[in-house]
Chain A
Amino acid sequence: MIIYGTALLAVCHLLGIFLGDVLGHALGVKTNVGGVGIAMLLLIVARLYMQKRDILPKLTELGVEYWGAMYIPVVVAMAAQQDMVAALRGGPVAVLSAIGAVAVCAVVIAVINRAERPEEESLAVPKLHDNPLLTEAE
């Protein structure tokens, strides 16, 4: 049943947010600490466990994957409700931080990759996922 997948996602989401709140409370910051990240880790663990036990039919997976594929559209909707008028007053901050971040990372990538030994690894191309919903979204 497709709702099982969506319900699994919902339980991981709520548990992650709850644990993030508890963590925030314990650290005395009154904010959610990494709740979304914890929820993601819970979902990965749940998937591995259910796959091993063979209790994860394709239809259940689809209940989660639909929402994964919806993330770009949701981000578009999120972009459409930002306070852009106020943001544009900030002006060069966005452009400068982005250029700075990319430049620093590019140098580090070049340094690490040039240190790689020339011997070629012959790996098979890994399969990211078998979800047709996600090929477009990526």
Chain B
Amino acid sequence: MLDILEKAAAQNGLVTAFAVVGFIVLVSGQISRRLTFGRVHGSAIAIVIGLALAYWGGALTGGHKGLADLSLFGGIGLMGGAMLRDFAIVATAFEVQATEARKAGLIGVVSLLLGTVLPFIVGATIARAFGYSDAVSMTTIGAGAVTYIVGPVTGAALGASSDVMALSIATGLVKAIIVMVGTPMAARFLALKTPRSAMVFGGLAGTVSGVSAGLAATDRKLVPYGALVATFHTGLGCLMGPSVLFFATKALVG
């Protein structure tokens, strides 16, 4: 019986992946609601569980593709692979409302640019300090400090190694968690009171999940303003990461 079930799951890899990921998201939603009272966003917990499962899969098989190395979960490799990942990320651009975006104005653009370049510089510098001195690894880890989407998209475009990619995702993830948990505590220091201040915050803090969860825990009214600017963050980062930022890094370190 169990053999037949396992065979059915392994032969329908992508369908199994949908079920497994759905279950992970369900569990993390419950953890978010019951254990953290919504303070930590469910999607962040789901990604942490994903990374933990990747560690488990890697430790079990000695492979380099995390959970996807177990034949039963091979479909995870397709679902989270480059093709579907880029497809889903492109689709998120559809929610950007150009008329609303124009209201964010110059200050939104300035904070978006700063929010992409500053974390990149910090991330790339620290990567170099820890011995990741080639331009591709520095750019990938620096891009991870922008958001956990920009990191792997940049890394994939530049052909970074899988461990650097994982490090880049981990960087973006730690950042998103800090933003989610830290925003309500730092709200006074950040002067988060007006829609404009929320837009500045959205541009500089990045990651839609971090910004919307952080603002929701601070002041619900500010959420759309921050999220509006933050939705551009990933697109701008994906545009600048493998191009301008990579060339700048390459010019500096050779």
A residues at B contact (CB < 8 Å): 9-10, 12-13, 16-17, 20, 23, 27, 29, 31-41, 43-44, 47-48, 61, 64-68, 70-90, 92-102, 104-106, 108-110, 112-114, 116, 120-121, 123, 125-129, 131, 134, 137-138
**Residues of chain B within 8 A of A105, CB atoms compared:** 114-115, 118-119, 204-206
- From 102 to 129 in chain B, residues with beta carbon under 8 angstroms from any chain A beta carbon are 103, 107, 111, 114-115, 118-119, 122-123, 126-127
Query: B38 within 8 Å of A by Cβ?
Result: no
**Complex Cα gap A78–B25 (Å):** 13
Q: Is the CB of A40 within 8 A of B122?
A: no
Q: Is the CB of A43 within 8 A of B118?
A: no
**Chief secondary structure at chain A's binding surface:** helix
- From 47 to 89 in chain B, residues with beta carbon under 8 angstroms from any chain A beta carbon are 47, 49-55, 57-59, 64-68, 73, 76-77, 79-81, 84-89
A83 to chain B, nearest CB (A): 4
**Complex Cα gap A82–B178 (Å):** 22
Q: Is the CB of B221 within 8 A of A90?
A: no
**Residues of chain B within 8 A of A97, CB atoms compared:** 122-123, 126-127, 141-142, 144-145, 171
Q: Is the CB of B97 within 8 A of A129?
A: yes
Query: B43 within 8 Å of A by Cβ?
Result: yes
Given A80-B66, A116-B194, verify A98-B178 contact (CB < 8 Å): yes
Contact with A31, one of B96, B157, B178 (Cβ below 8 angstroms):
B157
Given A37-B235, A77-B76, verify A98-B58 contact (CB < 8 Å): no
**Residues of chain B within 8 A of A98, CB atoms compared:** 145, 171-175, 178
**Complex Cα gap A87–B119 (Å):** 20
Given A71-B91, A81-B65, A126-B224, verify A76-B201 contact (CB < 8 Å): no
**Residues of chain A within 8 A of B65, CB atoms compared:** 81, 83
- Total interface residues on B, CB under 8 Å, equals 120
Contact with A81, one of B80, B97, B127, B231 (Cβ below 8 angstroms):
B80
Given A81-B77, A113-B192, verify A138-B91 contact (CB < 8 Å): no
Contact with A112, one of B90, B189, B200 (Cβ below 8 angstroms):
B200
**Chief secondary structure at chain B's binding surface:** helix
Q: Is the CB of B79 within 8 A of A77?
A: yes
Given A72-B25, A104-B118, verify A31-B79 contact (CB < 8 Å): no
A138 to chain B, nearest CB (A): 5
A78 to chain B, nearest CB (A): 4
- From 12 to 35 in chain B, residues with beta carbon under 8 angstroms from any chain A beta carbon are 17-18, 21-22, 24-25
Query: B93 within 8 Å of A by Cβ?
Result: yes
Given A125-B224, A128-B224, verify A110-B243 contact (CB < 8 Å): no
Q: Is the CB of A82 within 8 A of B22?
A: no
B147 to chain A, nearest CB (A): 10
Q: Is the CB of A67 within 8 A of B87?
A: yes
A125 to chain B, nearest CB (A): 6
**Residues of chain A within 8 A of B59, CB atoms compared:** 85
